[in-house]
Amino acid sequence: KQEVTQIPAALSVPEGENLVLNCSFTDSAIYNLQWFRQDPGKGLTSLLLIQSSQREQTSGRLNASLDKSSGRSTLYIAASQPGDSATYLCAVRDTGRRALTFGSGTRLQVQP
């Protein structure tokens, strides 16, 4: 059964720092991995979708990498801003079932 782990569980950084969020998964037989952002009490907003054949995807200040063989993904946020404060969730879609399996998230706080 697929398991997804996110480290750290919480992170606090000063504004302007570059930071890395980590996601690991136990079964490398995946179709893709998706990073989401969740603000308190809100739904999930998709940030990046990276296919199993890809190594990375970029959107603005965000860059997600994927190493399928080692079961790892990172989300890099450049020049962090207070508006980036949220919980970041990664989820994998593996070949064993059709639905996403989620990690528990990293709660990010960017201090002004």
Chain contacts with another protein (rule: CB under 8 A): 4, 31-32, 34, 36, 41-46, 49, 51, 89, 91, 93, 98-105
Closer to another protein by Cβ: residue 19 or 44: 44
Four-residue CA torsion sign, 92, 70, 64, 24? positive
Residues in the chain: 112
Specify the 3-state DSSP secondary structure of 83: helix
- Min separation Cβ 21 and another protein, Å: 14
Cβ closer to another protein: 76 or 102? 102
Give the nearest distance from C-beta 19 to another protein in angstroms.
20
Other beta carbons within 10 Å of 6: 21
Tell me how far, at minimum, the Cβ of 93 lies from another protein, in Å.
6
Nearer to another protein (CB atom), residue 41 or residue 60: 41
Amino acid identity of 62? Answer: L
| Parallel, antiparallel or unpaired: strands 56-59 and 19-25 | unpaired
